[in-house]
Structure formats: structure tokens, C-alpha cells
């Protein structure tokens, strides 16, 4: 938390929509994050609570709506959306709170090839967090890891989450894109934390993150180059030891 920002009361609702199953590494990351948060002593904070809310359903949009409704009923000050196939550092929540933004999301990657980040800038282009640092205002970012102040949610009317048909592309836009559009129309900014985005993984057949992200046919060349670099480093180290 910045020196000028003091939260007297923090009540975070960790909201987890799922179809009923969690990736085991997600459950482990969640437990460690909760433990880290409970031992945190932010300056000037008088009360600090955390509650984990879950919603199992095949209808993701309805799950997000119900979770928000439940969080507001529990007087939450913040909602932290976490998808159950994400892995993140133990100080995730603490660091996101310290940014003190109305809406802050992490730029996770897709979980299959080609691996790309998913946030878009106002120029409609994908934002690659590997080559950026700090905070950036964006047009849209996913809800997989997103912290939202409940004052934002209280200012909105349903539907906040919706799968919307886009005639120009002949496809649906996700509920995360729709949410970002709605909150910006209501006057709120959406931010991405590039540094934290480098520290999360999206678990599929393997764990995908910024470190393994390459587009299309570049993958083989990149892996080959990495192997050559490691071999070069090994030879240099052996030469140095001699």
C-alpha cells in the first residue's frame, strides 16, 4: 500500500466460479495466499477479513453474478475473482490491494498453442506483458485473476456479465470483455499489473505463462535456441572452472 493510501477496513471476498472441479495446484496456491493475507498487518488497518465464496455451475455467467450478489451481502470491500485453473504467488492479494485501483486484472495467457496474453490495449492490439512493467490502463483483460472494489459493482446494474454475440466477427465475446466494456461506460478504468502478470500460470495440459509464450511456428525455434544457449553457458562455466 502506498504511503498515502490507508485502508481502515478490508473485507475481501475471494470468488471462485467453477464447474465443480479445481486444479490441485490452484487449491495449494489459494491456501498459501489466504495464510499470507491473514498474517499481513497493513499500516492503519483496523479490521481485516477474508472469505472464500464458491459457485459450482456450468453457467459461468450466472456463477459470477451469484458470487457478486453473495459478496455484497457479506459487506465485502473487494471482490477477487480467481479461476480454478490459475496458479499465483502467495502475496498476490496483498500486492493487488497495495495498487489501490478500482479494477485491476492480471494478463494471463491462453492455455494452449499458440500461447498469447489476452489483454487488449485501446488500439485493439494484444498486450504482451513480458516486455512491459508497472501498471497500464487497458481496454480489456480477463476475469481469471481480477480484484474489483465493490463500489464499482454497486454502481452497476445487471447484467454485469454476459456472453454477447458480435455480428462483425460471427462469434461471441466472453463475459470478461463485456464486463470491461460495462465498467468503462460507467466511468471506471481497467488496469493491468504487468509485473504480477509475469508470476502467474494458466494450467492446461501443462502450465502456461509468460515464460513459455511464443506465437505459432516460433515455438520450435525458441526451444532450440534455449537449448543452444544452455549448452553455451555450460561450456563457458567449464572453461572458467579450468
C-beta neighbour count of 121 within 10 angstroms: 14
At 164 the pLDDT is 84
Residue 231: inside a domain: no
Residue 228: inside a domain: no
Residue 179: inside a domain: yes
At 209 the pLDDT is 74
Query: C-alpha grid cell for residue 77?
Result: 470491500
Residue 25: inside a domain: yes
Domain of 159? Answer: 9-217
**pTM tops 0.75:** yes
At 11 the pLDDT is 97
C-alpha to C-alpha distance for 111 and 85, rounded to whole angstroms: 10
At 217 the pLDDT is 45
At 237 the pLDDT is 66
- pLDDT in tens for each of the 242 residues of the chain? 444 567 889 999 999 999 999 999 999 999 999 999 999 998 889 999 999 999 999 999 999 999 999 999 999 999 999 999 999 999 999 999 999 999 999 999 988 778 889 999 999 899 999 999 999 999 999 999 999 999 999 999 999 999 888 888 888 888 999 999 999 999 999 999 999 999 999 988 766 677 666 444 444 555 566 667 667 766 776 676 66
Residue 233: inside a domain: no
At 138 the pLDDT is 98
At 33 the pLDDT is 97
Nearest CA to 191 out of 96, 82, 68, 72 is that of 96
Q: Are 69 and 31 within 8 A, CB to CB?
A: no
At 222 the pLDDT is 52
Residue 183: inside a domain: yes
Residue 130 sits in a domain of what CATH number? 3.90.550.40
Q: Is the dihedral of CA 89, 93, 98, 100 positive or negative?
A: positive
Residue 225: inside a domain: no
Domain count across the chain:
1
At 216 the pLDDT is 45
Amino acid at each position: 500500500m502506498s504511503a498515502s493510501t490507508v485502508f481502515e477496513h478490508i473485507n475481501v471476498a475471494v470468488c471462485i466460479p467453477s464447474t465443480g472441479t479445481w486444479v490441485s495446484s490452484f487449491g495449494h496456491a489459494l491456501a498459501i495466499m489466504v495464510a499470507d493475507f491473514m498474517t499481513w498487518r497493513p499500516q492503519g488497518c483496523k479490521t481485516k477479513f477474508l472469505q472464500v465464496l464458491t459457485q459450482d455451475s456450468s453457467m459461468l455467467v450466472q456463477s459470477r453474478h451469484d458470487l457478486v450478489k453473495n459478496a455484497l451481502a457479506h459487506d465485502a470491500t473487494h471482490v477477487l475473482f480467481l479461476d480454478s485453473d490459475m496458479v499465483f504467488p502467495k502475496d498476490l492479494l496483498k500486492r493487488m490491494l497495495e495498487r489501490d485501483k478500482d479494477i485491476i486484472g492480471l494478463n494471463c495467457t491462453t492455455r494452449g498453442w499458440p500461447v498469447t496474453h489476452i489483454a487488449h490495449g485501446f488500439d485493439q492490439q494484444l498486450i504482451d506483458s513480458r516486455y512491459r512493467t508497472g501498471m497500464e490502463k487497458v481496454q480489456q483483460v480477463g476475469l481469471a485473476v481480477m480484484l474489483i472494489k465493490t463500489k464499482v459493482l454497486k454502481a452497476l446494474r445487471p447484467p454485469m456479465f454476459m456472453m454477447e454475440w458480435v455480428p462483425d466477427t460471427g462469434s461471441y465475446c466472453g463475459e470478461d470483455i463485456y464486463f470491461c466494456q460495462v465498467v468503462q461506460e460507467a466511468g471506471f478504468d481497467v488496469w493491468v499489473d504487468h509485473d504480477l502478470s509475469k508470476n502467474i500460470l494458466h494450467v492446461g495440459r501443462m502450465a502456461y505463462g509468460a515464460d513459455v509464450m511464443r506465437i505459432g511456428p516460433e515455438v520450435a525455434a525458441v526451444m532450440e535456441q534455449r537449448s543452444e544457449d544452455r549448452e553455451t553457458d555450460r561450456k563457458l562455466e567449464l572453461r572458467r572452472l579450468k
